[in-house]
Chain A
Amino acid sequence: MMATELVSISNAESFNVRGVENLAKYIFSRLGYMLVTFLVIATFTFFLMQTLPGSPFNDEKLSDSQKERLYEKYGLDKPLPLQYITYMGNIAKGDLGVSFQYDGRPVTNIIGERIGASAVLGAQSLLLGCVIGLFLGIIAAIKHNTSIDYIAMIISVIGLSVPNFVFAGILQYWVGVKLKWLPVAFWEGFEYSILPTISLSVFVIATIARYMRAEMLEVLGQDYIVTAKAKGLGSFSIVMKHSLRNAAIPIITILGPMTVTLLTGTLVIEKIFSVPGLGEQFVKSIMTNDFSVIMGTTLFYSILFIGIVLIVDLLYGFIDPRIRLSGRTK
């Protein structure tokens, strides 16, 4: 990823050493901020978690002395500041502790075992969603106010307003059970990922198509497009070369958070298609007051989110040279 940035940033200046240096500096300072953000999130979550109603070992079958024993076992009997220091120390060592609901299973294993499926599913639906969404948006903008435009927009309104579990249910029943074209559920190969990918990408398609159409319409009205037309460039080349980049900026902005949501699993779709992903784990850990899993998943989400924000910022520079990362010194 980094290599792409380096190349792209230095585009206009043809491998300007200074540009690379600036970029490196910028990334380093950003990494510093990221660490601070991470620590703040970790601290905040740690203390906020304590205010969750109920306690992890609340079970009618456990006697008070049993509960006490479990608190001791997981170090929850210690004063909170001490727990905090221990926890932060362990994070630094890469140890996220052990789960309560899965009786001593390390949290890093829990996340590691589940993130793969979520990430693949997320990446696929993001890719599919982007390709189709961009295509629909561009077509709709070019053929503004024609039936193609209307059809594209109807598709996107449906995609935005119908919840994805409805699509998932329909696809599962018709394509899986009735037509038997694709597997009903589970996660055992590419064909198993098709239906969940489609269900997840519907929302992506709709969102991107709408943004893309609006941005394209704006860009197509700009002077430089008129110039390009006047120069006699074909409409394909105008769209690909001159409009797309400029229209892409808002798309990049929404893609950031969307990527995080998709990559880290989407509870409902994963449940419907029995995908062994991370989506439900987060919700379940909160319901069961499984502190170390709550912390683990939150921190994981935040690292991903912070990372993607950085990537998005770097991408801005690549897409639109007018936006410079560290301020051009020219």
Chain B
Amino acid sequence: MVLEIRLLYLVGSWENKKMGAVKMKIKSSIFIILMIFISSFLSGCYGGESKKTVSENKPNKTEGKKTEQVLNLAEGGEIPTLDTLGLFDALSSRTMNNIFEGLYRLDEKSKPIPGMAEKYNVSKDGKVYTFHIRTNAKWSNGTPVTAKDFEFAWKRALHPDTLSPNSYLFNDIKNAAEIQDKESSLYGKVNELGIKAVDDHTFQVELKQPIPYFISLITYPLFFPQNKDFVESQGDKYALEVKNLIYNGPFVLDSWEHEAGWVYKKNPDYWDADTVKLEQINVKVVKEIATKVNLYEAGQIDLTEISSEYVNQFKNSPDYNTLLKPEIFFIRMNQKNKYLANVNIRKAIDMGWDKKAAAESLLNNGSIPAYYLVPKDFSFDADGKDFRSKYSGFNQDGIEKAKEYWEKGLKELGIKGMELEFLSYDSEDRKKVSEYIKNQLEKNLPGMKIKINQQPNKQKLELESNQRYDLTYSGWSPDFQDPITFIDLYLSNGPNNWSSYKNKEFDRLVMAAKNNPSNLKVRWENLQEAERILIEEDAAISPMYQSGLVQLTKPYVKGYFFHPFSISYKWTSIEGK
């Protein structure tokens, strides 16, 4: 065997020598071809295009010159869609708010101010709004923005073929609900919608009933215009890439590299271009907070949100700031469960844990403990008074009181204890909070046993909406800037009630606020009373916290405004960099 191998080896080596030269040539030429192929492939893959924008904006190299009006940002992901009628999220709506504009837009204090419309008139009964669209409103391809663009987009949003997932927000407009209702004789007849392009610059909207928040409502991207000719010319490709879009907002998208980032440029054709100071905004997709912090420290981004583990590190930095989001997290209690149908048990659960510790020590991300459903700093009456100013919160009596309710409840039910399932999210922060609540309740309410059930969001929603839970960690963010968007959740027949909560007085107050909103003061009081009944009397939910946001902002970034659903760059500028 060994001998054979040796012989083979000898023969082989002799042959090899003969073939060597030929082989070497073939091999080396293949190698060269491969190298050329690989290097050309590589140079294509590093994203050569974006190099330009970077070299233009190296933050350190431009010092000394006039301050460049360039803002560098990082976002946590790819924009899901830029079709205002699509299935969008906060990031989509933030982008849309800066590249498009509706009839009105939100100012620095999140109050509606004129956008594409110069002004509006309302009929005496508060049902008919007439908007006067600016004559200098233009799309970025030069065509004027007209009333027809609004008519086209709004009808398209309700048409069965192009129905927007957010179309329910149109329901206050005459016939809008019927057009979406398969049972109705008006189903799909979008021409019956209560809107009319009287002429190019006059757009009329007829509401089903007067609503006080209509102007604020239409600042939402769903109500933005779309140009019929352009949209139809793009077909399926509309809004997929920069070249498949036209803009009418303060900025246009200059590039959009999926998953990597996008660049805004000032829109010179915007009617109010003089107000817009920023020339360019570079946005990069950065998914890791740690990376964002590193980039912020390296001076490559001007602003970043941070997570709780960085709070202590930056708490004393002048760049550190927090703000409240209009988003409430609360425990839903399923009254199909015979124990939870008892109001004293529910009250005990609501008061039986330390909300302050959970929000401030555990989350430590700018969130504040909530003893209410309608968020703070979110909705204001005609005099600018916060909805929360009447009742700052409910059920704040503390754990001793909770124990009393617990004993009372147990006696009424004739039991010594109970085991409940607590459905929760599978994210890290929320895991901690649910475990804390479990420990608190088990400690403070003797005989209570909690089993945590963590599920991915989609599955959790499925279980919640089918009421297959006892307690659930739940959240809600508003659809528009009015308390009703939170409170009508708990109407007996509300589609998101999900807990079999029923209270006739609550229903009466909410419906009164919905159906007869003409007296704004009474409406406001009705809603405040309804919320009191929901939480203080019935303890239908146990509010947990109102979410906050902690961020670092470079001191030279001015005029960066947050709104309940978006952010405005329109007034942002770089000063003294």
Contact = CB atoms under 8 A, between A and B. Distances in A.
B323 interface: no
Nearest to B49: A188
Given A3-B30, A53-B458, A186-B284, A116 B45 contact: yes
B258 A114 contact: yes
Contact of A113 (B258, B455, B460): B258
A58 B461 contact: yes
A60 interface: yes
Given A4-B30, A276-B257, A192 B465 contact: no
A62 B47 CA distance: 37
B38 A104 contact: no
B465 A102 contact: no
Interface string A146-182: 0000000000000000000000010011001100100
Interface in A84-128: 100-105, 109-110, 113-114, 116-117, 119-120, 123
A173 B292 CA distance: 11
B396 interface: no
B455 to A, nearest CB: 7
B202 interface: no
A223 B240 CA distance: 65
A189 interface: yes
B87 interface: yes
B286 interface: yes
B258 A120 contact: no
B27 interface: yes
Contacts of A114: 258-259
A227 B6 contact: yes
Given A4-B30, A55-B458, A184-B295, A104 B236 contact: yes
Given A190-B46, A276-B260, A177 B288 contact: no
Which of A4, A176, A276, A280 gathers most chain B CB within 10 Å?
A276
A64 B461 CA distance: 13
A100 to B, nearest CB: 8
Contacts of B462: 53-55, 58
Given A66-B168, A110-B258, A60 B284 contact: no
A221 B522 CA distance: 95
Interface string B74-98: 1000101101001110000000000
Nearest to A59: B461
Which of A101, A114, A187 gathers most chain B CB within 10 Å?
A187
Contacts of B284: 185-186, 274
B560 interface: no
A276 B42 contact: no
A329 interface: no
A140 to B, nearest CB: 27
B291 A272 contact: yes
B286 A185 contact: yes
Nearest to A127: B38
A289 B459 CA distance: 10
Contacts of A169: 290
B458 A103 contact: no
Nearest to A278: B259
A45 interface: no
B465 A60 contact: yes
Which of B12, B41, B165 gathers most chain A CB within 10 Å?
B165
Interface in A21-65: 53-65
Contacts of A240: none
A11 B160 CA distance: 67
A65 B180 contact: yes
A173 B294 contact: yes
A53 B459 contact: yes
A185 B295 contact: yes
Contact of A272 (B54, B260, B288): B288
B295 to A, nearest CB: 5
Given A63-B168, A177-B297, A188 B285 contact: no
Contacts of A186: 54, 260-261, 284
A300 interface: no
Contacts of B160: 69
A53 B23 CA distance: 57
B456 interface: yes
B538 to A, nearest CB: 21
A102 B81 contact: yes
Contacts of A274: 74, 260, 284-288, 291
B503 interface: no
B461 A60 contact: yes
6 closest Cβ contacts across the A-B interface?
A54-B458, A53-B459, A103-B81, A276-B260, A276-B259, A116-B45
Given A14-B19, A169-B290, A186-B260, 5 more contacts: A113-B258, A120-B45, A177-B297, A185-B286, A188-B47
5 contacts: A55-B458, A172-B291, A176-B298, A184-B294, A188-B50
Interface of A: 3-4, 7, 11-12, 14, 53-66, 69-70, 100-105, 109-110, 113-114, 116-117, 119-120, 123, 169, 172-173, 176-177, 180, 184-190, 192-193, 223-224, 227, 271-274, 276-277, 280-281, 287-289
